[in-house]
Amino acid sequence: MKYSKYSAVIIGSGIAGLYAALKTEQQVNLPDGLLLITKSKLGESNSRYAQGGIVGVMKENKSDSTASHISDTIKAGAGLSEFNTVKYISEHSDEVVKDLLKFGVEFDRDEDNNLCFTKEAAHSVRRILHSGGDATGKMIEQALCKKVKENSEIQIYEQTDAVDLLVKNNECKGVIIFNNITGQYETVYSSAVFLATGGIGQLYKYTTNPAGATGDGIALAYRAGAVLQDMEFIQFHPTALAIDNDENRFLISEAVRGEGAKLCDADGVEFMYKYDERKELAPRDIVTRANFNEMIEHNVNNVYLNASCIENKKLAKRFPNISKKCLENGIDISHDFIPVAPAAHYFMGGVKTNIKGETSIKGLYAIGEVASTGLHGGNRLASNSLLECVVCAYTAAEYLKSINLKTPKQIDEELKSVIDEYNNEDIILDEIDVSSLKTKLQNIMWNYAGILRNEQDLCLALEEFEELQREFPRKNKCLNREEYEFRNMLVVSRLIVQCALLRKESRGAHFRTDYPQTYDECIHSFVTKNEGVPDFVK
């Protein structure tokens, strides 16, 4: 096996990973260099598909303030948002957005060159910055990718998966990586390993997340003994295009509702007034359950979004990609109803971190969607995720300045047994039909641990996971990427279901039909691996 060492390794090239790489290289002394590894091509990520925008609490926006953004975030978070985290992230919004502008990100502006702000659900003012109309993620990611590629100090490995972390005495010493093209393994020693591996949408049958969102970073951190937080909190977006021809469903941005579009049934009858006085702009969990409920009551596979009330010129300018995608599917959004249904979208839970990205394991950091900082609580406010990615990457890079990043020279003998297993070419693994197992798992999660949950279904899910585990008897080393992803999906799915079972209340995106009430006390859930089994810490 090949060995290498770097002062810092960043795993993942979404907006969190790309921005962390640029800021770390810019600010930190890296005697052994910086490595960025990513599972697919550089920039392929959830970030690339972000549409609505990024929260910009900008000093020049006189109608907005950090106090108002903090209040909106906390209200949406259903009692689980951490005040200090929310405050810190909100107060750094202006600074990081201005830094993104320096890196070449262009946000949409009006005729007078002022930044344009839009509104999304549960935001009390217009504060969302967007780019390319409805292509915010792609525009930010392209600008950052360009800078990363131009920077010769950042070593990039594409098509490379992190498969295990090297942890001894609760300190991370590096990572084992697998090249998906050559099938070769490499051990990378490093004093600072960053997980920027994104979310888990692919655990569900219906999701807005692309193929790579398989929860790898969360599984790696758990396997290594890190503390995870609020694993039961999955955000389902209310309006994914209800047409299946890819591995995920195309998103119809909340910003379309922000500009005035209405939810309705096939006859155009609106229904949101029955569920919340804020109607289409109620928090996402409420709109999702409303759509889901309408679908169940009328025994249909989708509801509709009517955007025809938005002026044609505005629709085309603000939502060029949504208009195009719908037209490719025979829907002219200026007068046809758009068929929409909920889909798994975002993970509020994840690896527990502080604002600097520190996890419970020394030398292991997590930033972006993989992390649970306490910003989103039980229900994320739209467009806060991209903001969290950049503020936390920025802060983690700042923090690294104070750390000695000299990587020890010699190989750690005690970690050799972990490395040896991946190195052992005598281990012959028979091929497993992972794609059918993956479909089974996605159905189990959608049917038993989805938008509405109850004890019976969650227990059924656990039983079915046992069966899947029997059909997939891998513990560590796997045959290929698909197997590694499935290994990780199974770990994370189990933890989500176990945590959902333990939370005997309904809060934010976690809705138990058998426990519809909300506790007075707001408590996070924590889980860590203790002697090989989950330990649910109070």
Residues making contact with ligand SIN (CB under 6 A): 51-52, 251, 253-255, 346, 382-383, 385
Q: How far is the CB of 383 from ligand SIN (least distance, A)?
A: 4
Q: How far is the CB of 210 from ligand FAD (least distance, A)?
A: 7
The two most distant CA atoms of the chain are separated, in Å, by 70
Please choose which of ligand SIN, ligand FAD, none residue 172 contacts, taking the beta carbon within 5 to 8 angstroms, the exact cut-off set by kind: none
Q: Which residue is nearest to ligand SIN (CB)?
A: 52
> For the stretch 475-499, what's the b/e string if a residue is b when 16 or more beta carbons lie within 10 angstroms of its beta carbon?
eebbbebbbbbbbbbbbbbbbbbbb
Q: Toward ligand FAD, which CB reaches closer, 18 or 263?
A: 18
Q: How far is the CB of 444 from ligand FAD (least distance, A)?
A: 21
Q: How far is the CB of 163 from ligand SIN (least distance, A)?
A: 29
CA atoms of 208 and 481, how far apart (whole Å)? 21
- For 87, half-sphere exposure in the C-beta direction (CA atoms, 13 angstrom radius) is 3
- For 468, half-sphere exposure in the C-beta direction (CA atoms, 13 angstrom radius) is 27
Look up residue 40 and give its DSSP letter: S
Q: Residue 208 corresponds to which tokens in the numbers above?
A: 């807005």
Q: How far is the CB of 45 from ligand FAD (least distance, A)?
A: 3
Please choose which of ligand FAD, ligand SIN, none residue 40 contacts, taking the beta carbon within 5 to 8 angstroms, the exact cut-off set by kind: ligand FAD
Q: Are 377 and 80 in contact (CB under 8 A)?
A: yes
Alpha helices in 174-231 (DSSP H): 216-223
Q: How far is the CB of 452 from ligand FAD (least distance, A)?
A: 22
Give the binding site for ligand FAD (CB under 6 A).
Answer: 11-17, 37-40, 44-47, 49-54, 136-137, 161-162, 196-199, 208-209, 212-213, 216-217, 251, 346, 368-369, 383-386, 389
Please choose which of ligand FAD, ligand SIN, none residue 368 contacts, taking the beta carbon within 5 to 8 angstroms, the exact cut-off set by kind: ligand FAD
Q: Toward ligand SIN, which CB reaches closer, 51 or 493?
A: 51
453 is catalytic: no
Please choose which of ligand FAD, ligand SIN, none residue 224 contacts, taking the beta carbon within 5 to 8 angstroms, the exact cut-off set by kind: none
CA atoms of 382 and 458, how far apart (whole Å)? 28
> 48, 257, 284, 487: which is the annotated catalytic residue?
284
Q: Toward ligand FAD, which CB reaches closer, 48 or 512?
A: 48
Strands, DSSP E only, in 268-322? 303-306
Q: Toward ligand SIN, which CB reaches closer, 16 or 154?
A: 16
**Side-by-side strand order, sheet with 228-229:** 371-372, 350-352, 228-229, 526-530, 533-537
Q: Toward ligand FAD, which CB reaches closer, 341 or 461?
A: 341
Give me the DSSP letters along 363-411. Answer: TEEE-GGGEE-SSSTTSPPTTHHHHHHHHHHHHHHHHHTTS--PPPSSP
Of 391, 330, 475, the closest CA to residue 55 belongs to 391
Q: Toward ligand SIN, which CB reaches closer, 251 or 343?
A: 251
Please choose which of ligand SIN, ligand FAD, none residue 15 contacts, taking the beta carbon within 5 to 8 angstroms, the exact cut-off set by kind: ligand FAD
Residues labelled catalytic: 284
